[in-house]
Amino acid sequence: MRKKSKQEFIKIEGMTCGNCALGIKKHLDKNGVQNVSVNFASAEASFSTTQQHDFDNVKELIQALGFKVKEISNQDSVPKYSVLEKKFFFTLFFTIPLFSHMFLPKDSILHNALLQFVLCLPVFFVGCIHFGKSAYSSLKSGLPNMDVLILMGSSAAFFYSIYGWVLYNGNEQVHHFLFFETTATIITLVLLGNVLEDRSVRQTTTAIRELSAIKKGIAKKEVNNLIEEVSFDMIKVDDVLIVNAGDKIPVDGKVIWGSALIDESMLTGESIPINKVLEERVIGGTILKSGSIKIQATSIGNDMLISQIIELVRNAEENKPKIQRISDKVSGVFVPFVLLIAILTYFFSNSIISYFSIDSVIKDPFLRAVAVLVISCPCAMGLATPTAVMVGIGRAAKKGILLKGGATLEKLATIKNIVFDKTGTLTTGDFAIKQVTILEGDEQFIKSVIYNLEKHSSHPIAQSLVKNLKANAEKLALTDINEEKGIGISANLDADYYQIGSNRISENLKNQHDLFLLKNNKVVAYIDIEDELKKDTEVVINKVKSLGIESILLSGDKAKKCEDLNQKIKFSEVFAQQLPKDKLMQIEKLVSKNPTAMFGDGINDAPALAKATVGISIGNATEVAIDSSDVILLHKSELSQLPKALQVARHTLLTIKQNLFWAFSYNIVAIPIAAMGFLNPMWGALFMAFSDVIVIGNSIRLKYKNIF
DSSP 474: P
The answer to whether 600 and 421 have CB atoms below 8 angstroms apart is: yes
* Burial profile 390-425: b = 16 or more Cβ within 10 angstroms, e = fewer: bbbbbbbbbbbbbbbbbbbbbbbbebebbbbbbbbb
The answer to whether 92 and 54 have CB atoms below 8 angstroms apart is: no
The answer to whether 458 and 478 have CB atoms below 8 angstroms apart is: no
Give the C-alpha separation, 704 to 395, whole Å.
Answer: 9
Coil vs helix vs strand at 151: helix
The answer to whether 315 and 37 have CB atoms below 8 angstroms apart is: yes
Give the C-alpha separation, 369 to 18, whole Å.
Answer: 24
Distances (CA, A) of 704 to 29, 208, 393, 464, 665: 37, 16, 13, 42, 25
Tell me how far apart the terminal alpha carbons of the chain are, to the nearest angstrom.
26
Give the C-alpha separation, 304 to 285, whole Å.
Answer: 9
DSSP sequence for 644-661: HHHHHHHHHHHHHHHHHH
Q: Considering just the CA atoms, what is the radius of gyration of the chain in Å? A: 32
Distances (CA, A) of 612 to 36, 400, 576: 26, 22, 18
Give the C-alpha separation, 550 to 512, whole Å.
Answer: 31
Residues classed as catalytic: 421
224 phi, psi to nearest 5 deg: 55, 50
Q: Which amino acid is at 63?
A: Q
DSSP 303: G
Count CB-CB contacts under 10 A for residue 258.
Answer: 16
Angle at 375 between CA 370 and CA 379, to 5 degrees: 130
For 227: left if phi > 0, alpha if psi spans -120 to 50, otherwise beta; the answer is beta
The answer to whether 58 and 30 have CB atoms below 8 angstroms apart is: no
Strand blocks (E) in 439-546: 479-484, 488-493, 496-501, 515-519, 522-533
**Burial of 664: CB neighbours in 10 Å, binned 0-12, 13-18, 19+:** middle
Give the C-alpha separation, 5 to 294, whole Å.
Answer: 32
State the pairing for strand pair 479-484/427-438: unpaired
Count CB-CB contacts under 10 A for residue 175.
Answer: 15
How large is the angle between the packed helices 113-141 and 18-30, nearest 10 degrees?
40
The answer to whether 241 and 221 have CB atoms below 8 angstroms apart is: yes
In what helix (H) or strand (E) does residue 294 lie, and over which residues does it extend? strand 287-299
Q: Which amino acid is at 695?
A: V
**Burial of 345: CB neighbours in 10 Å, binned 0-12, 13-18, 19+:** buried
Give the C-alpha separation, 387 to 695, whole Å.
Answer: 8
Coil vs helix vs strand at 534: coil
Coil vs helix vs strand at 6: coil
How large is the angle between the packed helices 83-100 and 113-141, nearest 10 degrees?
140
